[in-house]
Amino acid sequence: MLLTVENLSLSVPGHRILQDVSLEVGTGEAVGLVGESGSGKSTTARAVLQLVPDGAQTSGSISVCGHSPADPDSCRAIRTEHAAMIFQDPRSSLNPVRRIGDSATERLVHVHGVPKAEATRRLVDLMAEVGLRDPENLLRRYPHQLSGGMLQRVVIAAALSTDPKVLLADEATSALDVTTQAEVLALLRRLRRERELAVLFITHDLLLAGAFCDRVYVMKDGSIVDEQPGKTVFVDPANPYTKALADATPRLPEREPRHA
């Protein structure tokens, strides 16, 4: 397994956020983490990079490509080499007063030692792949000059540019229109195959998780309450909470049969 979380519990003073969360994602696998707002999805993904709230107490263990984020040297290696995270709010991961090109190539240039021109070329290629037109021009702009959907695609390209083995995608496609979402998911599918990328795909959308993921974990109030194959997560789930989520998911209405 490239990513393993075992019995992760996390609390801040007066509030338990995660309780005994266990999950795993294998090579080339896409695994969904689905649940309503506040169920602990982002907290789980951020803990993989040791980004925990101030004063948090944690127990349990996490392994990314065999490294534990609890160890400072391993944590650095996880953040820079093994894993990349697409954060839920793309604006929070880009410095508002720096040009997008400088922020988005920072990890490649300063951590991986890739020359700036080469880093820019890699980013431009990936930006084109996630459907951004005229990437060179976009790289000279500032975050406030781009729409939320454009920024989301920039951070997806930046996350993929360092060639991670584990991708933590936190609502990565939620701000995108349906067509762009389909393009980005197709890109992630291809990268999963080609680079054997392990994807933890966080979403509140059970339908999307079922369509994109091999397996889906369902999270409620800080705990994993169900695990299902993606293909069948909608087929009469036995778990009452998964069933409630499935029933609450809007689907296209059945078409009336056509009469000749």
Ligand X SMILES: Nc1ncnc2c1ncn2[C@@H]1O[C@H](COP(=O)(O)OP(=O)(O)OP(=O)(O)O)[C@@H](O)[C@H]1O
| Number of helices and strands in the chain (H, E) | 9, 9
Nearest approach, Cβ of residue 56 and ligand X (Å) = 8
Which residue in this structure is represented by tokens 């101030």? 54
Site for Mg ion in 57-116 (CB under 5 A): 88
Report the largest interatomic distance among the alpha carbons of the chain, rounded to a whole angstrom.
70
For 198, the enclosing helix (H) or strand (E) is strand 198-203
Residue type, 30: A
Sheet holding 198-203, edge to edge: 83-86, 166-170, 198-203, 30-35, 215-220, 223-229
Residues making up the chain, counted from first to last: 260
Using the minimum distance from each CB to Mg ion, give the nearer residue, 32 or 135: 32
Separation in Å, CA 201 to CA 52, 182, 208 = 19, 14, 10
Using the minimum distance from each CB to ligand X, give the nearer residue, 52 or 211: 52
Partner from ligand X, Mg ion, none contacting 12, C-beta within 5 to 8 A by type:
ligand X
The contact set with ligand X (CB under 6 A) reads 12, 15, 17, 35, 37-43, 53, 88, 204
Using the minimum distance from each CB to Mg ion, give the nearer residue, 35 or 230: 35
Please work out the total of residues on this chain that contact Mg ion, with binding judged by CB under 5 A: 2
Site for Mg ion in 26-45 (CB under 5 A): 42
Using the minimum distance from each CB to ligand X, give the nearer residue, 42 or 152: 42
Nearest approach, Cβ of residue 39 and ligand X (Å) = 4
Residues that bind Mg ion (CB under 5 A): 42, 88
